[in-house]
A and B are shown apart, each in its own frame.
Chain A
Amino acid sequence: MLDKLLLIWESLPLLIRGAIVTLELTMSLLAIGFVLGLIVALGQVYGPRPIAMLMSGYERFFRAMPILVLLIVFFYGLAFLGVSLPAFGTAVLVFGLHSSAYQSQIFRGSIQAIKPGQILAARALGMTRLQVIRYITLPQALRLAIPGWSNEYSGVLKDTSFAFAIGVTELARQGWQIATRTREMFLVFISVALIYLLLTYLGTWLLELLERYLSVPGLAGQRREEHGRVV
Chain B
Amino acid sequence: MAVSSKIIVRVEDLHKRYGSEEILKGVSFTVRQGEALAIIGPSGTGKSTLLRCINRLTEPDRGRIWLEETEITSPHTDINKIRQQIGFVFQDFNLFAHLTALDNVRLGLLKVKKLPKKEATERAMHELARVGLAEHAQKYPAQLSGGQQQRVSIARALAMDPKLMLFDEPTSALDPELIGEVLQVMQKLAEEGMTMIVVTHEMGFARSVCDQVIFMEKGVIVEQGPPEQIFTNPQQPRTRQFLGKISELYGGAGR
Contact = CB atoms under 8 A, between A and B. Distances in A.
A131 B55 contact: no
A33 to B, nearest CB: 24
A121 B140 contact: no
Interface stretch (A62-70, A78-86, A95-103, A216-224): A216-224
Q: How large is the interface on B (under 10, 10 to 19, 20 to 34, 35 or more residues)?
A: 20 to 34
Interface in B109-124: 111-112
A140 interface: yes
Interface stretch (A53-61, A112-120, A163-171, A187-195): A112-120
A217 B142 contact: yes
B57 A123 contact: yes
A121 B80 contact: no
Interface string B69-86: 000000000001111101
B96 A125 contact: no
A2 interface: no
B190 interface: no
B125 to A, nearest CB: 18
A135 B95 contact: no
B88 interface: yes
A217 B92 CA distance: 18
A158 to B, nearest CB: 32
Contacts of B96: 118, 121-122, 136
Nearest to B143: A217
Contact of B140 (A124, A143, A216): A216
B100 to A, nearest CB: 9
**Which of under 10, 10 to 19, 20 to 34, or 35 or more describes the interface residues of A?**
20 to 34
B153 interface: yes
B80 to A, nearest CB: 5
A127 interface: yes
Contacts of A125: 83-84, 107-108, 112, 156-157, 160
B52 to A, nearest CB: 8
Contacts of B97: 114-115, 118, 140, 216, 218-219
Contacts of A143: 98
B95 to A, nearest CB: 7
B160 A121 contact: no
Contacts of A136: 96
Given A135-B111, A217-B143, A218-B140, A126 B80 contact: yes
B106 to A, nearest CB: 11
B94 interface: yes
B219 interface: no
A126 B109 CA distance: 10
Nearest to B81: A126
A128 interface: yes
A115 B153 CA distance: 16
Interface centre among A123, A125, A136 (most CB of B within 10 A): A125
A217 B101 CA distance: 12
A124 B142 contact: no
B34 interface: no
Contacts of A117: 90, 92, 94
A60 B149 CA distance: 41
Contacts of B157: 124-125
A124 B167 CA distance: 12
A126 B94 CA distance: 15
Interface of B: 55, 57, 80-84, 86, 88, 90, 92, 94-98, 107-108, 111-112, 140-143, 153, 156-157, 160
21 contacts: A115-B97, A117-B92, A118-B94, A118-B96, A120-B94, A121-B96, A121-B153, A121-B156, A123-B83, A124-B55, A124-B57, A124-B157, A125-B157, A126-B83, A126-B160, A135-B107, A136-B96, A143-B98, A216-B98, A217-B143, A219-B98
> When A and B form their complex, which 9 residue pairs have the shortest distance between CB atoms, in order from nearest?
A218-B142, A126-B84, A121-B94, A117-B94, A124-B88, A125-B108, A126-B83, A126-B80, A217-B140
Given A120-B57, A125-B157, A126-B112, 7 more contacts: A115-B94, A115-B97, A121-B156, A123-B83, A127-B80, A216-B97, A218-B141
